[in-house]
Structure 1
Amino acid sequence: MGNAQQREPRLQSSSQVNSQVTVLTSRVAELEGHMYEVYPFYQQNSTSAPQPSPGALPPPLPPKGKSKIPTIVAIVVPIAVSMLLFVVGCCFITRRARKKRSAAAEAPSGENDISTIESLQFDFSTIVAATNNFSDDNKLGEGGFGQVYKGILSNGQEVAVKRLSKNSGQGAEEFKNEMVLVAKLQHRNLVRLYGFCLEGEEKILVYEYVSNKSLDYFLFDPEKQGQLDWARRYKIIAGIARGIMYLHEDSRLRIIHRDLKASNILLDGEMHPKISDFGMARIFGVDQTQANTSRIVGTYGYMSPEYAMHGQFSVKSDLYSFGVLLLEIISGKKNSYFFQTDAAEDLVSHAWKLWRDGTPLELLDPSMRDSYSRSEVIRCIHIGLLCVQEDPADRPTMQSVVLMLNSYSVTLPLPEQPAFFLRSRTEGNMPKITLESDLSVSKSTPSVDEASITAVYPR
Structure 2
Amino acid sequence: MLNYIDLSYNKFFGEISPNWGWSRNLKSFKVSHNNIAGSIPSELANATKLEILDLSYNQLAGKIPNELGGLKLLFNLELNDNQLSGNVPTEFGFLSELALLNLAVNRLSGSVPEEFGQCSKLLYLNLSNNKLTAMVPSQIGRLHSLQDLDLSHNLFTEELPSELGYLSSLETLNLSYNQFSGYIPNTFNTMSSLTAVDVSYNMLAGPLPNSKAFRNASAKAFEHNKGLCCNAMMKKSKRKYSKMVLVSIIAPILSTLILLSVILGTFFTRSSRVRNMVEPEGAGERENCVTIRGFDGKLMYESLIQATEDFNPKYCIGRGGSGSVYKAMLPTGQVFAVKKLHEIDDDDEVANLKSFSNEIDALTEVKHRNIVKLYGFCSHAKYSFLVYEYLEGGSLAKMLASEEKAKQLDWNKRIQVVKGVANALTYMHHECFPPVIHRDISSSNILLDSEYEARVLDFGTARILNPDLSKLISFAGTFGYSAPELAYGTEANEKCDVYSYGVLALEVIMGKHPEDLLLSLSLPESIIGHRLTLKDLLDYRLPPPEDPIGEEVVFTIKLAFSCLQTKPQSRPTMNKFLKSFQLENQPHQIH
TM-score range normalised by the length of the shorter chain: 0.5 to 0.7
Matching residue's letter, 1:129: Q
- Paired AA for residue 448 in structure 2: L
Deviation at 1:413, TM superposition (A): 2.0
Alpha-carbon distance in structure 2 between the residues aligned to 1:240 and 1:413 = 21
- Partner letter of residue 268 of structure 1? D
More helix by share: 1
Give 1:255 shift: 1.3
CA distance in 2, matches of 1:271, 1:350: 38
Q: Is it true that 1:176 corresponds to 2:350 in the alignment?
A: no
| Greater alpha carbon shift after TM alignment, 243-252 vs 368-377 | 368-377
Q: Does 2:371 align with 1:190?
A: yes
Q: 1:327 to 1:405 in 2, by over 3 A?
A: same
- Among 150, 157, 160, the residue aligned to 2:334: 157
Deviations 1:159-195 (A, max 9, x none): 0112222227644455334323312211111111111
1:122 equivalent in alignment to 2:301: no
Q: 1:200 to 1:394 in 2, by over 3 A?
A: same
Once the two structures are superposed, residues 297-346 of structure 1 have per-residue CA deviations (whole angstroms, 9 ceiling, x without a partner) of: 1223322222223433210111111111111111122123669xxxxx44
**Is the 8 Å Cα contact of residues 149 and 161 (structure 1) preserved in structure 2?**
yes
Q: 1:221 to 1:338 in 2, by over 3 A?
A: farther
The correspondence of residues 356-395 of structure 1 with structure 2, limited to 5 A, is: 359-372=533-546, 373-395=549-571
Give SS of 2:428's match.
Answer: helix
Could you report, residue by residue, the CA deviation over 1:2-26 in whole angstroms, capped at 9, with x for unpaired residues?
xxxxxxxxxxxxxxxxxxxxxxxxx
2:390 corresponds to 1:209: yes
Give per-residue Cα distances to partners, 1:388-424, cap 9 Å, x unaligned: 1122111111011111112227552278xxxxxxxxx
TM-score, with normalisation over the residues of structure 2? 0.45
CA distance in 1, matches of 2:530, 2:467: 36
Deviation by residue 1:124-183 (Cα, 9 ceiling, x = unmatched): 323223334434443334455233321123532100112222227644455334323312
Identity %: 34
Distance 1:136 1:392 in 2: 38
How far 1:369 sits from its partner (Å)?
Answer: 3.3
SS in 1 for 2:506: helix
| Stretches of structure 2 lacking an aligned partner (at least 5 in a row) | 1-289
Is 1:148 the equivalent of 2:325?
Answer: yes
2:412 aligns with: 231
Give unpaired runs (5+ residues) of structure 1. 1-115, 340-344, 416-459
8 Å contact from structure 2 (residues 475, 489) kept in 1: no
Letter in 2 for 1:320: Y
Counterparts in 2 of 1:38-437, with a 5 A limit? 119=293, 122-123=297-298, 124-167=301-344, 170-282=351-463, 290-336=469-515, 345-346=519-520, 353-355=527-529, 359-372=533-546, 373-408=549-584, 412-413=588-589
Q: How many residues align?
A: 293
SS at match of 1:224: helix
Q: Matches of 1:290 and 1:351 in 2, distance apart? A: 37
Q: State the structure with bigger RCO (CA 8 A, min sep 6), 1 or 2.
A: 1
Select the structure that is richer in strand.
Answer: 2
Query: What SS is found at the alignment partner of 1:231?
Result: helix
Q: Compared with structure 1, are the counterparts of its residues 132 and 118 closer, same or farther at alpha carbon in structure 2 (3 Å cutoff)? A: closer
With over 3 angstroms needed to count, the CA separation of the structure-2 counterparts of 1:313 and 1:173, relative to structure 1, is: closer
Larger deviation, residues 286-295 vs 391-400: 286-295
Which piece of structure 1 moves more, 310-319 or 171-180? 171-180
- State the distance in 1 between where 2:498 and 2:354 align: 32
Q: Distance in 2 between matches of 1:288 and 1:145?
A: 25
Q: 1:299 to 1:177 in 2, by over 3 A?
A: closer
> How far off its partner does 1:210 sit?
1.4
Call closer, same or farther: CA 1:138–1:364 in 2, change over 3 Å.
closer
- 8 A Cα contact 1:245 1:399, kept in partner: yes
Q: TM-score, normalised by structure 1?
A: 0.57
Equivalent AA in structure 2 for residue 245 of structure 1? T
Q: 1:409 to 1:135 in 2, by over 3 A?
A: closer
Q: Contact 1:320–1:387 at 8 Å: present in 2 too?
A: yes
Distance 1:374 1:350 in 2: 30
Report the CA distance shift for 1:368/1:347 in structure 2 as closer, same or farther (over 3 A).
Answer: farther
> Does the aligned pair in 1 maintain the 2:461–2:476 contact within 8 Å?
no
Q: Write out per-residue CA displacement over residues 69-103 of structure 1, whole angstroms, 9 at most, x where no aligned residue.
A: xxxxxxxxxxxxxxxxxxxxxxxxxxxxxxxxxxx
Mapped partners of 1:349, 1:273: distance in 2: 33
Query: Would the alpha carbon gap of residues 307 and 401 (structure 1) be closer, same or farther in structure 2, given more than 3 Å must change?
Result: same
Contact 2:495 2:568 in 1 (8 A): yes
The 3 A distance-change label for structure 1 pair 244 and 408 is same
2:379 and 2:531 map into 1 onto residues whose CA distance is: 56
Q: CA, structure 1 residues 391+199, in 2 after alignment: closer, same or farther (shift >3 Å)? A: closer
SS of 2:377 mapped into structure 1? strand
What letter corresponds to residue 160 of structure 1 in structure 2?
Answer: A
Aligned-pair CA distance for 1:241: 0.3
Decide whether aligned partners of structure 1 residues 271 and 387 sit closer, same or farther in structure 2, where only a CA change above 3 A counts.
same
Aligned to 2:124: none
Report Cα offsets for 1:100-125 as digits up to 9, x if no partner: xxxxxxxxxxxxxxxx9674772232
- Where 1:333 maps in the other structure, the secondary structure is coil
Secondary structure in 1 aligned to 2:426?
helix
Task: Give the match's secondary structure for 2:297.
Answer: coil
Distance 1:392 1:167, change over 3 A: same
**SS at 2:476's partner residue?**
strand
SS at match of 1:366: coil
Kindly provide the CA deviation profile for residues 34-60 of structure 1, in whole angstroms up to 9, marking residues without a partner as x: xxxxxxxxxxxxxxxxxxxxxxxxxxx
SS of 1:234's partner is helix
Distance 1:209 1:189 in 2: 14
SS in 1 for 2:375: strand
